[in-house]
Amino acid sequence: MPEHESARTGSGDTGAGHLVRRARTAAGVSLRELARLIGVSAGTLSAVENGKTPLTVDRLDRIAAELGVSTVDILATRLPSAADATGSSPARSAGDGQTWRTFEPLVLDPVLDAAIAAFMQTGYHGATMRSIAATAGMSVAGVYHYYPSKQDLLVAIFDLGMSELLWRIPAARDDGVTAVERFAKMVEALALFHAYRGDLAFIGASEMRSFDEPNRSRVAAQRVDIQRMIDDEVAAGIRAGEFTTRYPREAARAVATMCTSLPQWFRPVGPISRQQIAVEYAQFAVDIMRGRNPSPHSPGFFRESVSR
């Protein structure tokens, strides 16, 4: 593959170089030794790892070969496989000591980063593998090497977001003691995710119609799993006499929809922070389950969304 085809990423100032450093460290190889093996100076490799020099696909291939791994193994730190979606996700393990309320910037491979931008701009059907390749700074053949189809990219984006939800929601639930606390924290976690990972959440929700089978059924089942966790805590709250809504199923879906709609209007540069909106949504949700209407005079209830 031509040397000029850059495996750059716009996800952070270290980009794909950060992934190379992580893989090198895991293999127990010093920077100077790896530089010698791939035929570059230690300064050049250091610049690559720190995002100051573009990481070309050809160089990535050579690095992977010397470390005894595949290029996919190096870039795979950006997301779990579908089979691992219910286990420990990279989003969780990458941030040592990370809690369900903390969101570290995602480190994405250049192709996935470009696909997210393309799907947000033109939608799944409007994007092409050629346009994604151009944004990623790669050849079309290079993109197909890592993702055999555009459908694979859509699935990877969904799995990236769902892998976070599948550990954040249970972690938030386990932080609570009573049914009300567990429910409120789960709603807070759901709102935080949709405020922090708006692009992933928006694509996951708006492109459900674009999944092919068997992906469609798997995606739908995982979404049901998240809803069922919320439903279970609502049922526990009713059994405990804390929740009194006459329509628990409908109310639980209304709460979930309230959170999933956040990417459509919430802007972090507005007058309210992500943490504040998540706490407010949790309180709204508890009020709904207790059969109360959130007061229009409560702080932040009717904020002008256009100002955000």
Residue 268 belongs to what domain range? 152-307
On average, the pLDDT of the chain sits at 81
Query: For residue 277, what is the domain's CATH number?
Result: 1.10.357.10
pLDDT greater at residue 80 or residue 235: 235
Q: What is the mean pLDDT of residues 68-72?
A: 77
Q: What CA–CA distance (Å, rounded) separates 8 from 15?
A: 7
pLDDT band, residue 117 (cuts 50/70/90): very high
Whether residue 93 is contained in a domain is answered as: no
Which of 10, 65, 66 lies closest to 37, judged by CA?
A: 66
Query: What is the structure's pLDDT at 124?
Result: 94
Lowest mean pLDDT among 41-45, 48-52, 82-86, 181-185: 82-86
113 pLDDT exceeds 60?
Answer: yes
- The answer to whether position 128 is within a domain reads no
Show the CA angle centred on residue 91, arms to residues 88 and 92, nearest 5°: 50
pLDDT, residue 60, reads 83
What are the DSSP calls for 36-57, one per residue?
Answer: HHHTS-HHHHHHHHTTSS--BH
- The Cα 307–Cα 303 span in angstroms is 8
Model confidence at 303: pLDDT above 60: no
pLDDT in tens, 187-196: 999 999 999 9
Write out the two tokens for 125: 């059907």
pLDDT single digits (tens) 18-40: 788 878 877 888 888 898 899 88
Number of structural domains the chain divides into: 1
Question: Phi and psi at residue 56, in whole multiples of 5°?
Answer: -80, 155
Q: Is 298 a domain residue?
A: yes
Q: Which residue has the higher pLDDT, 6 or 166?
A: 166
Of all residues in the chain, what percent carry a pLDDT higher than 90?
A: 52
Count of positions (residues) in the chain: 308
Closest of 75, 64, 159, 153 to residue 116, by C-alpha: 153
* Calpha distance 266→196 (Å, rounded): 10
CB atoms within 10 A of CB 79: 24
Query: What pLDDT score was predicted for residue 40?
Result: 86
245: its two tokens: 């809504």
The backbone torsions φ and ψ at residue 293, rounded to the nearest 5 degrees and listed phi first, read -95, 125
Token digits of residue 143: 């993109």
> When comparing pLDDT for 291 and 294, which is higher?
291
Range name among 149-158, 212-221, 258-267, 298-307 with the lowest pLDDT average: 298-307
Is 227 part of a structural domain of the chain? Answer: yes
Whether residue 221 is contained in a domain is answered as yes
In a domain, 294, yes or no: yes
Would 120 be classed as within a structural domain?
A: no
Q: Which residues contact 177 (CB under 8 A, 6 or more apart)?
A: none
Beta strands in the chain (DSSP E): none
Q: Is residue 143 situated within a structural domain? A: no
- Cα(228)–Cα(221) distance, integer angstroms: 10
* Sign of the CA dihedral with 180 first, then 181, 185, and 186 last: negative
